[in-house]
């Protein structure tokens, strides 16, 4: 497995692979890999001849006062894990490589980015779509894999790929959870033991809501109110949003049907956690 820091070298390797008829599978990450990332890499291994992992904590998707400086990083461990799952190339550029002085171009997806995480993290998705666009240009993937835990991110990336006619097959992979239900996230490392226990309420809410929807509840507000009450019982929790949205438009639903996804963003202490689940599947 090779570790590449230079944009030019990565792009050259990708173009050569393409020239040789190799199919490139790509998993973009910000590192601090967990089982969720590894599931993407394993699927990528099945789908591509050349499997590329990028590790880049992208400054443009963090707002002021967010955790860019503190974001967990462990390149050595990430590379060891990557090698175990059969990654061929790790692309780990630094910020100067990706955003050299004079950098001035950004990609903005409208509408889908206005609600949910987009409303509470202004500029976040502009940073995500910009870096994913750049990474696609550098890595030249045929197929790229993303986790469904970032449900809105996946929808926004799909929209960008469609709108900009990018020849990349975007695959969304299921959320990977700890045995107790907590959705895997690099940010879980911030949680104290007591906070981690409280964090389990998020997946519990999704389970309970799906159960009630399956039993016939069709009013989103009933489930949202029940979820709000559950969170209010927690010592260290603060709700960012709890919404039930249409899977494609991400607009709030007035009646639950097969398209309904419940999306949660909740601070446990200073740690902002997100989770989601379909209500009728």
| Residue ranges in contact with ligand PAF by CB under 6 A | 28-30, 58, 61, 128, 131-132, 150, 153
Smallest separation, CB 74 to ligand PAF (Å) = 15
Of 154 and 204, which CB lies nearer to ligand PAF in the complex structure? 154
Catalytic residue among 34, 37, 124, 246: 37
User: Do you know the residue count of the chain?
Assistant: 281
Strand ranges of the sheet holding 143-147, from the earlier edge strand across to the other edge: 2-4, 89-91, 50-55, 24-29, 143-147, 169-173
Cβ density class 43-74: b for 16+ within 10 Å, e for less: bbbebbebbbbbbbbbebbbeeeeeeeebeee
> For ligand PAF, which is the closer residue by CB, 17 or 33?
33
- Say whether 37 is catalytic: yes
CB 33 to ligand PAF: min, Å: 10
- The 8-class DSSP code of residue 67 comes to S
* Nearest-angstrom CA–CA distance, 40 and 182: 18
60 versus 115: smaller Cβ distance to ligand PAF:
60
Alpha helices in 48-177 (DSSP H): 75-84, 95-98, 116-120, 124-139, 151-163
Q: Do 49 and 43 contact (CB within 8 A), yes or no?
A: no
Nearer to ligand PAF among residue 128 and residue 256 (C-beta):
128
The residues annotated as belonging to the active site are 37
């Amino acid at each position: 497995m090779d570790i590449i820091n230079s944009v030019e070298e990565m792009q050259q390797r990708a173009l050569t692979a393409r020239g040789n008829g190799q199919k490139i599978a790509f998993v973009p990450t910000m590192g601090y890999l967990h089982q969720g990332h590894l599931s993407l890499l394993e699927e990528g291994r099945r789908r591509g001849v050349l499997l590329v992992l990028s590790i880049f904590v992208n400054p443009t998707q963090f707002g002021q006062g967010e955790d860019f400086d503190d974001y967990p990083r462990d390149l050595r461990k990430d590379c060891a894990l990557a090698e175990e799952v059969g990654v061929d190339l790790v692309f780990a550029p630094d910020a100067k490589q990706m955003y050299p002085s004079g950098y001035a171009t950004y990609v903005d997806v409208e509408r889908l980015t206005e609600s949910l995480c987009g409303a509470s993290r202004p500029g976040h998705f502009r940073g995500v779509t910009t870096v994913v666009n750049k990474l696609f240009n550098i890595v030249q993937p045929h197929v790229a894999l993303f986790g469904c835990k970032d449900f809105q991110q996946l929808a926004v990336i799909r929209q960008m790929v469609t709108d900009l006619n990018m020849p990349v097959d975007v695959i969304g992979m299921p959320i990977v959870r700890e045995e107790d239900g907590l959705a895997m996230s690099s940010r879980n490392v911030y949680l104290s033991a007591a906070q981690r226990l409280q964090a389990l309420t998020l997946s519990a809410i999704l389970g309970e809501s799906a159960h009630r929807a399956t039993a016939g509840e069709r009013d989103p507000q009933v489930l949202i109110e029940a979820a709000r009450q559950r969170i209010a019982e927690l010592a260290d929790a603060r709700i960012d949003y709890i919404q039930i949205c249409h899977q494609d438009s991400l607009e709030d639903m007035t009646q639950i049907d097969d398209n309904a996804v419940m999306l949660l963003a909740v601070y446990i202490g200073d740690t902002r956690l997100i989770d989601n689940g379909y209500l009728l599947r």
